[in-house]
Amino acid sequence: MKRHIFIFLLSITVLCSCKNETKTVSEEPIIGADGPDKTAKQKDGLTLLSGEFIYYEDAAVLQTGHEVYGVKIDDKMHELYKMGAPYRKEATDGVRAVVRAKIIPLPKGEEGWPFSLQIKEIISVKTLGEKANEVVKIGS
């Protein structure tokens, strides 16, 4: 019986000791916070976005976890497309992109995505990884 009580107390002690994690406070100002603590990059009106970038023929989109944005076709968009070339097997494959861009609402009376992006800075480009293998292709 003493052995069972000892094991019980030992397991409670182990469980309690695991929950003593300390959280560190970030020294960088919070994005979107108002006030004098904003950095120069936060005051320029651009938004940091991460998602799947796809460009095919005359259409370019960036699909984030919450929204799909049409991407303005310009030199920065073409630069992003070229940076993703090593990660694509086919022209229709997407890449994971992190960009800073200006979000432009769709003018009334026009068709398309509710918001479009004008890319101003490319942070990184990566492969989509395992998600790329989940695509079903018809007519191959």
Average pLDDT score over the chain: 77
Assess whether pLDDT exceeds 90 at residue 1.
no
53 within a domain of the structure (yes/no): yes
3-state secondary structure of 117: strand
Q: Which of 29-33, 49-53, 73-77 has the lowest mean pLDDT?
A: 29-33
Quick check: is 4 in a domain?
no
pTM of the predicted protein model: 0.63
Which among 55, 52, 50 has a CA at the least distance from the CA of 134? Answer: 52
Count of structural domains, the chain: 1
139 in any annotated domain: no
For residue 61, which of 114, 120, 117, 123 has the smallest C-alpha distance? 117
Domain harbouring 117, CATH code: 2.40.50.140
Q: How many CA atoms lie within 13 A of 32 on its CB side?
A: 2
Lowest-confidence pick of 10-19, 37-46, 66-75 = 10-19
Question: In which domain, by residue range, is 85 found?
Answer: 47-128
Residue 15 domain-assigned (yes or no): no
The structure tokens listed for 124 are: 């990184």
